[in-house]
């Protein structure tokens, strides 16, 4: 009988232990689910912050690159603009009449070399004669009436104009017809 009582007591204990384990597992499962939810929320928040930070950094790199290119263009334009009067004077000297042909040829070579150096920086001459007047590129210093020319057609150029890309370094000084 004692054996039976022991067995019954053991069964009751096992049953209680099993119930306790099941109860603990239920609590743990509930705790695990809430912890999982918290971790998922934290992960999502960190992931969102990472993505935003990465996008901001990419935008910063693009903006910095544009600023660098813009600054380079402005500085190049300013430097070239200060050299244009020198080029004008070299071209005038190359076309001046002189008895010394070798001297004149030397001046022409220097003028051509200087022009090529400025072209390597992206300098382009603005077309004028025969073109329609455009205030973005041309500066009108005079106006003439000529029935053989079209309306606002450029007939003469006083000073050459130059641009680098789309940026005008110096406007062309021109005479416009009609």
How confident is the model over 6-47, as pLDDT tens digits?
Answer: 555 566 555 555 555 545 555 556 678 888 999 999 999 999
- Measured CA to CA, the distance from residue 80 to residue 83 in angstroms comes to 5
User: For residues 75 and 1, which has the higher predicted lDDT (pLDDT)?
Assistant: 75
Burial string for 92-120 (b: 16+ CB within 10 Å, else e) reads eebeeeeeeeeebeebeeebeeeeeebee
**Alpha-carbon distance 30 to 120, whole Å?**
73
Architecture category of domain 125-178 in CATH: Roll (2.30)
The pLDDT, as a whole number, for residue 165 is 86
Cα–Cα distance for residue pair 157/141, rounded to 1 Å: 10
- What is the edge-to-edge ordering of all strands in the sheet holding 167-170? 123-125, 162-164, 167-170
CA distance 22 to 129: 97
Q: Which residue has the higher pLDDT, 78 or 18?
A: 78
The percent of residues above 90 in pLDDT, for the chain, comes to 69
pLDDT in tens, 42-69: 999 999 999 999 999 999 999 999 999 8
Q: Are 177 and 150 in contact (CB under 8 A)?
A: yes
pTM of the model: 0.64
Run of H or E including 172 = strand 172-177
**Residues 6+ positions from 173 with CB-CB distance below 8 Å:** 138, 139, 141, 157, 158, 159, 161
Q: Is 130 helix (H, G, I), strand (E, B) or coil?
A: coil
What's the confidence (pLDDT) of residue 70? 87
The token duo for 138 is 């041309």
* CA separation for the pair 119, 162 (Å, rounded): 10
Q: Dump pLDDT digits (tens) for 135-174.
A: 999 999 999 998 888 889 999 999 999 999 889 999 999 9
- Helix 101-120 vs helix 2-95: crossing angle, to nearest 10: 160
């Amino acid at each position: 009988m004692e054996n039976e009582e022991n067995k019954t007591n053991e069964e009751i204990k096992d049953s209680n232990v099993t119930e306790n384990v099941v109860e603990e597992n239920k609590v743990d499962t509930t705790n695990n689910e809430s912890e999982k939810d918290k971790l998922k929320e934290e992960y999502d928040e960190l992931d969102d912050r990472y993505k935003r930070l990465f996008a901001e950094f990419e935008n910063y790199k693009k903006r910095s690159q544009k600023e660098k290119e813009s600054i380079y263009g402005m500085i190049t334009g300013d430097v070239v603009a200060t050299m244009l009067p020198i080029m004008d004077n070299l071209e005038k000297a190359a076309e001046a009449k002189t008895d010394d042909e070798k001297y004149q040829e030397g001046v022409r070579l220097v003028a051509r070399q200087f022009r090529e150096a400025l072209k390597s920086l992206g300098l382009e001459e603005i077309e004028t004669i025969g073109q329609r007047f455009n205030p973005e590129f041309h500066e009108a210093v005079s106006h003439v009436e000529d029935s053989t020319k079209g309306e606002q057609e450029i007939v003469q150029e006083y000073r050459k104009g130059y641009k680098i890309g789309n940026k005008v370094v110096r406007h062309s000084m021109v005479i416009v017809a009609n």
